[in-house]
Amino acid sequence: MIKGIPQVGHRQLLSQIRQIMADEGNAQERLDGLVAAIARNLQAQVCSLYLRRPDASMELWATYGLASSAVHVTRLGAGEGLVGEIVRLAKPLNLTEAPKHPEFSFHPETQEDPFHGFLGVPVLRGGRLLGVLVVQSREARHYSDEDMEALQNVSMVLAEIVSSGDLLSPNELENVALRPMRAEVLSGRRISDGLAVGRAVLDMPGRVNTNPVADDPEAEKQRLISAISELRRSVDALYQGKGNRLGGPSREVLEAYRMFANDQGWMDRLVEAASAGLSAEAAVERVRGEHRARFRNAKNPYLRERLHDLEDLANRLLRHLGAIEDLASLPKDAVLIARDIGPAGLLELDRSRLKALVLEEGSPTSHAAIVARALRLPVVGQVAGVLDRVSEGDTVLLDGESGSVFIRPDGDVEAAFRARVAERRARRAAYARLRDKPACTRDGQRIKLSMNAGLRVDLPQLEESGAEGIGLFRTEFQFLLSDHLPKQNEQTRLYHDVLDAAGDRPVVFRTLDLGGDKVLPYVAHERESNPALGWRAMRMALDRPGLLRYQFRALIDATAGKELNIMFPLITTLGEFRSAKALLEAEIGRMKRFGKNVPQSVRIGSMIETPAIVWQLDELLHEVDFVSVGANDLMQYFFAADRENPRVSERYDILNTGSLRMLGHVAKLCNQAACPVSVCGEIAGQTVEAAILIALGFTELSVPPAAIGPVKRMILSLDQNDLGINLAQWLAKESLAKAGAEAIVSIREQFLNYAQTNGLPL
């Protein structure tokens, strides 16, 4: 028996370790006691703890059975020896004859020559490897599954103890890679423009702050089993279409969830961890950490998707255990780091403290992106692995202009960045001075600048930005952000508020654009193999007209005695437009028959979002009062590239000669027919693309509120006629043929050279 360390069963080992860690004495004495207790419990002659240094080497921090003089002296290079193999695999290594393993590395100062049996486990916290815990025996021995389980549980508790700072001093922690220390620059995709300086707050729903050691292991096991049963019942209910709280995911995804939730191996790993003495929450975190460390760098898409499913299931299980930590109380100057976030979740955050958002996923055209732009919140998305590269409290510089995220920058970089923030603040002040100035080109062409909206939070910016109206009000946001189907009077109140905020400025309401990526959380939704080309927008509305008719009634009521400007989304045929118009006229007639007030005038428009309607435009223009180009969808369908798929969403340039010829065709036909036309897609708010749109003949742009200042400044310096002449030359087939095949892709380079030569601010 080891002196002062009584032998106990595996289930009592965690409590014994907790007592050792709570005893008086310095850190080294307590670590020495810890490894001695583990060796005794597993009947091993050696137990050693290696902690990972910032340079990725592994340092021997404590040992029982090896030479004590080797502590803090023996260091294994990155990937060296059996310890390095455990780091590489991020999973346990159990060997009967360790010296025969090809990766075995002998360090004479440790005096480990006579030892043969070997069991080592990674010390993981949140999927990040902090160290390795090893036991060895003189005899050739294969450690049991129970021994391995005990050592893994100890390693998790040890990770929490080391990371908490209660054991090691700040000076000692400097030599342990608890968190990345060096400065890094990560690249992502611009989602919402802006610059921000702040401190990282990790949105990791599984963070567990309870004691990892169970006071009553049997009670914790039963609590975990009960939570797993609740989880399985909730997933089964989702699969059967009851209480669809997942926001209408596809049946295929639900089948995968159901399969993983009922995976016996997953449950066995959880129950084993709890049975060995971990709390239920800590058991979930331990198993999650093992999966995260093992699958994080997997190249196989199936394995990566499996990890995503298991992560989500772990989070849901922790919700059933009541262990989820919310983000209701953010620290000052928070930069939230998350895998993804929905629009409702974003609106729930304290905007006064939230400075920016960094997402591992995310898309510029997602609902959360639109909300972020409305809030003027800088966002960078598709930053791969950011949650594993950032630690809570790290300094973060977010550049929403370039899509870059600076982590733990040095002083010079941060000072230069803060200077950019100050410069940008000065530019915004300059934009504010242009608020009441008409947007008119140097050669006298008046451009109407309206704003896009969809939320009440957008409305104050109508006055602040100097917008001339709301060129696109996305009515579906009220439905997407609600946990129930909005009643007619709720819709009417919102539309009243919008019209009151606009005053005498026009508002164009777009009817519900649902389906595809816009799924209501309270309506059952069947899986479609290609949702973007499926049952969505006006197709859905005409097949199930009840929802559309209720919306028509709310709009008619809200605009009684005023002008109603209404626009239909995703029209692909004249028949769809005529059917929608007939429904609207029928509802107006119905309101009149009931003696209700109706709009003084009605203007009916169509979105131009599909190539199909572009080539029917000359006929459509005889039936509409106005049209609006929805460039997001139009470009998606033109280039056959899903705008939500990062692999293809940037495979094309909107300034491609083909897409510009199509847009020019739309502008030409509308101008010839004297039909008002606007562009309300994302490109209208980008100065480069906006300049080209104006050169093509578009004289009304509807943009995010924050884009009005930069776009107006560009317009005031633009000569529309001169740029139009140059654009025609760039697009001329003869000119392109002479320039060679590569020049046919895009006219962006030609325009940027033109802008620089002519002093056009972009």
Q: What is the pLDDT of residues 610-619, one digit of tens each?
A: 999 999 999 9
* Domain annotation covers residue 210: no
Q: Which residue has the higher pLDDT, 364 or 303?
A: 364
In a domain, 762, yes or no: no
Query: How many residues belong to the chain?
Result: 762
**Same domain? 314 vs 333:** no
DSSP notation for 507-535: EEEEPP--BTTB--TTS-----SSGGGSS
d(CA 657, CA 746): 6
CATH classification of the domain holding 350: 3.50.30.10
Residue 736: per-residue pLDDT: 55
pLDDT at 575 over 60: yes
For the stretch 404-419, pLDDT in tens is 999 988 888 899 899 9
Q: Is the pLDDT of residue 1 over 70?
A: no
pLDDT digits (tens, 9 = 90+) for 287-296: 877 776 666 5
pTM of the model: 0.63
Percent of the chain with pLDDT over 90: 43
Annotated active-site positions, please? Answer: 367, 680
Q: How many folded domains does the chain comprise?
A: 4
The verdict on residue 179 lying in a domain is no
Q: Is residue 744 part of a domain?
A: yes
Would the pLDDT of 678 be above 90?
Answer: yes
- 725-740 burial code (b ≥16 CB/10 A, e <16): ebbeebbeeeebeeee
Query: What CATH number has the domain bearing residue 135?
Result: 3.30.450.40
The domain in which residue 469 lies consists of 434-757
Chosen domain end from 426, 459, 484? 426
Last residue of a domain, one of 401, 426, 451: 426
Q: How confident is the model at residue 528 (pLDDT cuts 50, 70, 90)?
A: low
- Give the chain's mean pLDDT: 83
Query: Who wins on pLDDT, 223 or 213?
Result: 223
3-state secondary structure of 295: helix
Q: For the ranges 247-256, 349-358, 660-669, which has the lowest average pLDDT? A: 247-256
597-611, pLDDT tens digit by residue? 999 999 999 999 999
Q: Are 570 and 607 in contact (CB under 8 A)?
A: yes
Instruction: Please check whether residues 549 and 447 belong to one and the same domain.
Output: yes
Is pLDDT larger for residue 330 or for residue 296? 330
Contact 468, 711 (CB under 8 A): no
Instruction: Kindly state whether residue 211 falls inside one of the protein's structural domains.
Output: no
Given a cut of 70, whether residue 191 has pLDDT beyond it is: yes
Instruction: Tell me, yes or no, whether 486 and 612 share the same domain.
Output: yes
The answer, yes or no, to whether residue 6 has pLDDT greater than 50, is no
How much is the pLDDT for 307?
Answer: 60
pLDDT at 626 over 80: yes
Both 302 and 438 in one domain: the answer is no
> 468 and 406, same structural domain?
no
Structure-model confidence comparison of residues 142 and 177, the more confident one: 142
CATH number at residue 288: 1.10.274.10
Does 378 map to a domain? yes
Which is higher by pLDDT, 738 or 706? 706
For range 730-743, the mean pLDDT: 60
Q: Please report which confidence band the pLDDT of residue 276 belongs to, taking 50, 70 and 90 as the band edges.
A: confident
Q: Under 8 Å CB-to-CB from 341, ≥6 apart: which residues?
A: 203, 357, 359, 362, 368
* 135 & 36 share domain: yes
Residue 1 lies in a domain: no
Is the model's pLDDT at 545 over the cut of 50? Answer: yes
Are residues 743 and 707 both part of a single domain? yes
Both 521 and 639 in a single domain?
Answer: yes
Residue 247 confidence (pLDDT) above 50: no
Most confident region among 115-129, 139-153, 174-188 by mean pLDDT? 139-153
CB count within 10 Å of CB 643 equals: 21
Residue 620 belongs to a domain with what CATH number? Answer: 3.20.20.60
User: Do residues 566 and 458 share a domain?
Assistant: yes
Q: Are residues 102 and 137 in the same domain?
A: yes
Confidence at residue 363, expressed as pLDDT on a 0 to 100 scale: 76
- Of 292, 320, 348, which marks where a domain is finished? 320
Tens digit of each residue's pLDDT (9 = 90 or more) over 96-132: 999 999 989 888 888 777 889 999 999 887 667 788 9
Q: How confident is the model at residue 236 (pLDDT cuts 50, 70, 90)?
A: confident
Q: Is the pLDDT of residue 256 over 80?
A: no
Q: Are residues 331 and 441 located together in one domain of the fold?
A: no
Residue 673, in any domain of the structure: yes
* pLDDT range class, residue 563, cuts 50, 70, 90: very high
54 with 140, same domain: the answer is: yes
Q: Which pLDDT score is estimated for 298?
A: 57
If pLDDT is split at 50, 70 and 90, which confidence band does 301 have? very low
